[in-house]
Structure 1
Amino acid sequence: MGVLEDKANARLFYKYLSKVYDRINPFIWNEEMRDEALEWLAIEEGDRVLDVGCGTGFATEGLLRYTDDVHGLDQSRHQMEKAFAKFGTRDRVRFYRGDAERLPFADDSFDAIWSSGSIEYWPNPVAALSEFRRVVKPGSRVLVVGPDYPNSSLFQRLADAIMLFYDEEEAQRMFEEAGFVDIEHHIQQAYPGSPRAITTIARAPEK
């Protein structure tokens, strides 16, 4: 387990990263990549959507173009304070401080779930994905963006020491184990040579 998959370490990390996050993030995960992924999720007007690991609200901004019913959850108070400054605490988005592995919502609460830049910090990704399946409506879709596993053995060792990096095979295993169906994976990249993102879209089975 990487050092940042410990929840306390991740919160401390984001306490300081939150100060510069919105300036650094576009070099790894930019608007074009976000907007492409939003098209894949195919949110409809009026859908109730959960943004898990909403952070400073970068993805939340994109979600609001599709629906006014957006809910954001994050474990980092410092990241969420940046989001509050953009959207208010209860004006455009309903925010919750919480854990991806223990979502504070009833079964079948959402029409779609989005999560970008969060899975790499989860100690138990399958448990979190199982929670996604629990709170999303049957037949609905979830989208998760995480860091693609590097090709270099040196960078692989470094990645494994820091947080979760994974490839398409591992993503397929995690989503299948969590009970999802119709799973598809896309590799996204801000520019040649930049870190790659693996974006997985899956559907909760009908009951």
Structure 2
Amino acid sequence: MSVARFLRQRAVRIQTAGSYTLPNWYDPQGKLRSFACRTTRVSPFRALLDVPVVGKVGDRLTSYFREFGTFEGEISDTVHGGFLLELEMTRAERAKLAEKLVWLEKKQKDPTIRDSRREARFVPNSPHSALTLADGSIVPCFVIDASMSGAAVSAEVRPEIGTPLAVGSCIGRVVRHFSNGFAVRFVDQIQAASELERRVITPPTRPTRQKLVAHADDGQAGAGEDFFMV
């Protein structure tokens, strides 16, 4: 099925963080790499995902979401920064997912239910941004979530701990690796959520690039700090 057709079908608009593996993407140890992802629309038959690395139509993959558990299936269509996953399930599993989606949709409409971590963490409306490295190279990335002091990111690259870089226009250093990405601590703490949303998806200006290069020359201060739990 195409993404355009799926967007016309009944589905629940829900943003749930997860992870996935693609065929033929391996880490240096020869294990399948895991990338972060996020659902945008889900039905009992298919799910539209925002991802940092888009596979090919026909690729079979496994994904995991805290709200839903494991999704297995095949990519039927791709878009910029995402793909449509055809879910492989038994009839009983589809019925269970349908019940779950109905409950989640009701939960979304209930203003009395809040995520206790929402003030501490921020998930941008569009998770797609870019990393700028000290040498000026730019790499697309997927912002898993962020706080006023840093961000969790997933990308094709995995910079070493201590590497200076910019997430959008926020300069920082890589401080920790985890299964599907890495954590970045910002050099300057951001004061407002509105500023955070704008800066994590805005490419750095020339002064920001110059500041990044200067920060790269300051050595490895701050490397290895464990500040951001994902």
Q: TM-score, normalised by structure 1?
A: 0.30
Higher strand proportion (structure 1 or 2): 2
Higher relative contact order (CA 8 A, sep 6+): 1
Rg larger in structure: 2
Higher helix proportion (structure 1 or 2): 1
